[in-house]
Amino acid sequence: LGTFVSAFTVLCGARTDLPDRHMCCVFWLNIAAALIQILTAIVMVGWIMSIFWGMDMVILASYKEQGIPPQL
């Protein structure tokens, strides 16, 4: 959401690192970056969740192999 906010601040006259670009171009670049961040956040969250589930399965399997009751 911060990238969306920064896109609109460019329209209000905020300075950018791209002084040779028109403010509308910088605005659309920020909007595109924000959309890409939102779309990849879903993928990253799912990827991280799958890693944690895999770790949990390995831990539970090692408890069962050792005969130790798991603490949930």
pTM as predicted? 0.58
pLDDT tens sequence across 2-43: 888 888 888 787 777 766 777 778 888 889 999 998 888 888
The secondary structure of 12-71 as a DSSP string is TT---S-TTS-HHHHHHHHHHHHHHHHHHHHHHHHHHHHHHHHHHHHHHHHHHHHTPPP-
